[in-house]
């Protein structure tokens, strides 16, 4: 009995020792994590932010010297984001499709060479052109440029006013394409004299560079222009309406008109194309900005913006970036109902309504998201001598559209 008891006691003791050592070894694993956890709660975001831009600077002294003058702005930003630490318990911002770290590192590199220029673009007419049409395009999209040239983007007189045109291009991201396209784009430039090509990679996130470079180009080479329309190549623009509208404005005054988006919130969903982490933009609302399809500005505003944008930190969404520049010069962009930068959507109450009707387009200024053939067809229909829209009642007076409900984001009008 006693022996058994002793045996039991030893057994229990052994078990206890085993349990203790097990616990101890577990603790060793747990302790560092446990130590990290509470500290992570508060300065974690700072740590994340700082580790992102900082880490690569140390092992690369060559780059550090380049980045030296810009250390302060990078550090300034996290402080803004710091206030929101309590609301964020996100994992590090690494697995996003867009490399924010690299963007932050490179964002001070914002001056690229102009590879193809059109220095005489605005010198052809005495007093300068009335309207310069500037269209964002990519080298590969020759067919889109061609259709714009032959339709709404024609150079020449509209209502007696001189119209000029340029396409804004960067270098193709696919270098194998560049090899063959380099000669072609020079050829195209020789033929049409409407190509501006800059030496930065033409990507979605580099569109802000396009914005800056275009404004600088316009201020330098086209300062005598009266108004500018800047837009995408997949829009239909009713230039007659635009000229008519602009003739009632003074180019020496501020003017910025488009499909203005107010109180847009930064998208914090990481899978989105427009995802912006709080480290990059800490505020909850973007300044008012024009939807990408196209907008109008006066010569005066162009000059002010070209200066203001130089002082604004690069932001990967070009429309919002321009909104930030507008905010900097304290200029309120004007919403105009004639700009349908999300395309035209058939009213759900009348799905049978034919939106691909020239009379529908007759009173609009800019319609976004059109296919090449649709632009071609619409332009020809609108300019047909047989076009008669008198009996249409849905659009009575030009620019009086108040049916906001017909516009819904992300919808493509005609597909
Ligand atoms: C680049 O373009 C070439 C030729 O058009 C194509 O074969 C290749 O797949 C492209 N590469 C990438 C990465 O898109
Ligand atoms: C923008 O262009 C530069 C210069 O070509 C390139 O190094 C950079 O990777 C591009 N950035 C993005 C976000 O595409």
Percent of the chain with pLDDT over 70: 65
Residue range 187-197, pLDDT digits in tens: 999 999 999 99
Is a pLDDT exceeding 70 seen at residue 264?
yes
Domain annotation covers residue 63:
yes
Ligand 2, CB within 6 Å, residue ranges: 103, 200-201, 203, 205-206
The pLDDT value given to residue 131: 98
The answer to the question of residue 66 being in a domain is yes
| Domain assignment of residue 7, yes or no | yes
Q: Which has more pLDDT, 198 or 51?
A: 198
What pLDDT is recorded for position 51? Answer: 27
> Both 68 and 135 in a single domain?
no
Question: Considering only CA atoms, which residue is closest to atom 4 of ligand 1?
Answer: 177
Picking from 309, 340, 371, the residue at the C-terminal end of a domain is 340
Question: CB of 174 closer than 6 A to ligand 1?
Answer: yes
Residue nearest to ligand 1 atom 13, measured at CA: 174
56 and 203, same domain (yes or no): no
In-domain check, residue 358: no
Q: Which of 340, 363, 398 is the last residue of a domain?
A: 340
* 151 has pLDDT over 90: yes
Q: For residue 116, is it within any domain?
A: yes
114 & 58 share domain: no
Distance in Å, CA 174 to ligand 1 centroid: 6
Q: How far is the CA of 293 from the centre of ligand 2 (A)?
A: 23
pLDDT of residue 230: 96
Regarding whether 167 and 64 lie in a shared domain, the answer is no
pLDDT tens digits, one per residue of 325-338: 999 999 999 998 88
Query: In CATH, what number is assigned to the domain containing residue 312?
Result: 3.90.550
**Test site for ligand 2: of 66, 106, 114, most ligand atoms within 8 A of the Cβ:** 106
Give domain status of residue 376, yes or no.
no
Domain, as residue range, for 11 = 1-27
Mutation test of ligand 1: which of 172, 174, 201 has the most ligand atoms closer than 8 Å to its C-beta? 174
Q: What are phi and psi of 196, to 5 degrees?
A: -115, 120
Higher pLDDT, 387 or 20: 387
Ligand 1 atom 7, closest CA? 176
Query: Does the residue 410 lie in any domain?
Result: no
**Of the spans 24-28, 62-66, 251-255, 369-373, which averages the highest pLDDT?**
251-255
Are 273 and 307 part of one and the same domain? Answer: yes
Question: Whose C-alpha lies nearest to ligand 1, atom 11?
Answer: 174
Same domain, yes or no: 15 and 70: no
The number of domains in the chain is 3
Please say which residue of 289, 307, 340 terminates a domain.
340
Counting ligands in written order, which one lies closest to the CA of residue 171?
A: 2
Which region, left, alpha or beta, applies to residue 306 given φ > 0 means left and ψ of -120 to 50 means alpha? alpha
Is residue 390 included in any domain, yes or no? no
């Amino acid at each position: 009995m006693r022996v058994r008891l002793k045996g039991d006691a030893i057994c229990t003791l052994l078990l206890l020792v085993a349990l203790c050592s097990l616990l101890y070894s577990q603790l060793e694993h747990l302790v560092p994590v446990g130590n990290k956890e509470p500290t992570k709660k508060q300065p974690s975001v700072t740590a994340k932010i700082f580790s992102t831009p900082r880490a690569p600077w140390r092992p690369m002294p060559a780059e550090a010297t380049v980045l030296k003058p810009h250390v302060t702005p990078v550090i300034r930003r996290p402080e803004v984001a710091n206030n929101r630490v309590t609301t964020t318990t996100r994992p590090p911002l690494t697995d996003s499709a867009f490399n924010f770290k690299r963007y932050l590192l490179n964002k001070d590199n914002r001056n690229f060479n102009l590879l193809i220029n059109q220095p005489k673009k605005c010198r052809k007419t005495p007093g300068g052109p009335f309207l310069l049409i500037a269209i964002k395009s990519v080298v590969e999209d020759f067919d889109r440029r061609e259709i714009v040239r032959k339709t709404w983007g024609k150079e020449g007189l509209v209502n007696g006013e001189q119209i000029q045109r340029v396409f804004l291009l960067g270098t193709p991201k696919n270098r194998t394409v560049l090899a063959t396209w380099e000669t072609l784009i020079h050829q195209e430039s020789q033929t049409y004299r409407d190509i501006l090509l800059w030496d930065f990679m033409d990507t979605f996130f580099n569109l802000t560079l396009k914005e800056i470079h275009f404004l600088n180009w316009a201020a330098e080479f086209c300062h005598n222009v009266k108004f500018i329309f800047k837009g995408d190549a997949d829009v239909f623009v009713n230039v007659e309406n635009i000229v008519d509208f602009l003739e009632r404005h003074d180019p020496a005054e501020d003017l910025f008109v488009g499909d203005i988006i107010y109180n847009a919130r930064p998208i914090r969903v990481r899978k989105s194309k427009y995802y912006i982490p709080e480290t990059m933009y800490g505020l909850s609302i973007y300044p008012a900005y024009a939807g990408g399809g196209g907008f109008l500005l006066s010569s005066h505003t162009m000059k002010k913006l070209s200066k203001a944008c130089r002082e604004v930190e690069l932001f990967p969404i070009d429309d919002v970036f321009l909104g930030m520049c507008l905010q900097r010069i304290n200029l309120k962009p004007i919403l105009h109902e004639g700009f349908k930068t999300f395309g035209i959507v058939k009213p759900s109450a009348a799905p049978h309504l034919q939106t691909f009707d020239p009379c529908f387009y007759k009173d609009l200024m800019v319609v976004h998201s059109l296919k090449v053939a649709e632009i071609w067809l619409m332009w020809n229909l609108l300019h047909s001598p047989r076009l008669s829209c008198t009996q249409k009642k849905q659009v009575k007076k030009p620019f009086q559209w108040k049916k906001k409900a017909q516009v819904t984001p992300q919808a493509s009008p005609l597909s």
